[in-house]
Amino acid sequence: MSREDSNRGKKVSGRQGGNFKKNSYARGNAPIKKSTAPKQASDPNSIRLNKYVANSGVCSRRDADIYIAAGNITVNGKPITEMGYKVKLIDEVKFDGRLLNPVKKEYVVLNKPKDFSTTIRDEKGKRHVSGLISNASKSKLLPVDKLDKEDTGLLVFTNDGDLTKRLKSPINGLRKIYHLVLDRDLISADLQKIKEGVTVDEKVVRVQDISYIDNSPKREVGVEIFSSRAKILERLFKQLDYKIMRLDRVVYGGLTKKDLPRGHWRFLTDQEIINFNMIK
């Protein structure tokens, strides 16, 4: 009987050069039982209560758990103290009697490049500013105000309707600084007229400051203004027979273009959001 016959039916080790391998059921080698039960899809119309509260801007999710445990949160009029409780988006959720909105408020600033539209009707076009911030949020963020297609500079986007309304209000007078290039040199007499105030549509336009740009032709000027009137700079200079060839917004509120290249965006910092929310 050959050696091969004598080994038939026996366990053969690798050292003996056999082709048989011993099955090992040590940790990590045991057969894995695959679950055939399908995963239950999460309901897109429901959300954990602590996340709902945090998204509303009241507090962090961790602090929301504390308020929930203390009974400060009500859902449809009933106090909820259960951790992990889920609510539907149609539910009425209140924090100490205040109605909450579960949509997380987000704020983005873009350094707008030339040839991008800010108008709603052009939103589906390839050259709309919304495409430049499409990766910023799953929410629909809209520009607080508008810049013409040829204009460049700072543009703020948010889904915070209350803040948008306050920033656009002519009462608040948000500080803005523009770098303008005119079709011809601005004579000193007209610069002085602008400083003193020029009447446009029966209302005097007041600028905080206007000056020539250092080491540049006199057709380039910097203008600081608080007015929120539509196209007010274009109308102001037209009143004096000048045409604005290029407009770049370099300051918006407390925001600047520092470290923000053209065509790039960033989220507002917590302090910047606080500063904007102080505007009433």
Work out whether the CA dihedral 239, 241, 247, 251 comes out positive or negative: negative
pLDDT at residue 3 is higher than 90? no
Which segments within 113-264 are labelled E, that is strand?
Answer: 142-143, 152-158, 176-182, 198-200, 203-205, 207-212, 220-225, 244-252, 255-256
- Between 139 and 95, where is the model more confident? 95
pLDDT at residue 233 is higher than 80? yes
pLDDT-based confidence at 140, cuts 50/70/90?
confident
Distance CA 160, CA 150 (A): 26
pLDDT-based confidence at 16, cuts 50/70/90?
very low
Lowest mean pLDDT among 84-98, 157-171, 230-244, 252-266: 157-171
The H or E element spanning position 94 is strand 93-95
Give the pLDDT of residue 265: 97
3-state SS class at 155: strand
Give the pLDDT of residue 126: 61
pLDDT at residue 14 is higher than 50? no
Distance CA 117, CA 252 (A): 19
Quick check: 227 and 206 in contact, CB under 8 A? yes
Q: What is the DSSP letter of 53?
A: H
Average pLDDT (205-215) is 95
- Nearby residues of 204 by Cβ (< 8 Å), 6 or more positions away: 197, 198
Average pLDDT (100-118) is 91
Q: Give the alpha-carbon dihedral of 201, 202, 207, 212, to 10 degrees.
A: 60
Phi, then psi, of 221 in degrees rounded to 5: -135, 155
pLDDT at residue 143 is higher than 70? yes
Distance CA 248, CA 222 (A): 10
Quick check: 137 and 110 in contact, CB under 8 A? no
With b meaning 16 or more CB within 10 Å and e meaning fewer, what string describes 217-241?
Answer: eebbbbbebebbeeebbbebbebee
Lowest mean pLDDT among 56-60, 203-207, 245-249, 266-270: 56-60
37: its two tokens: 């039960």
Give 140: exposed, middle or buried? Use CB within 10 Å, 0-12, 13-18, 19+: exposed
Average pLDDT (242-263) is 96
Q: pTM score, two decimals?
A: 0.69
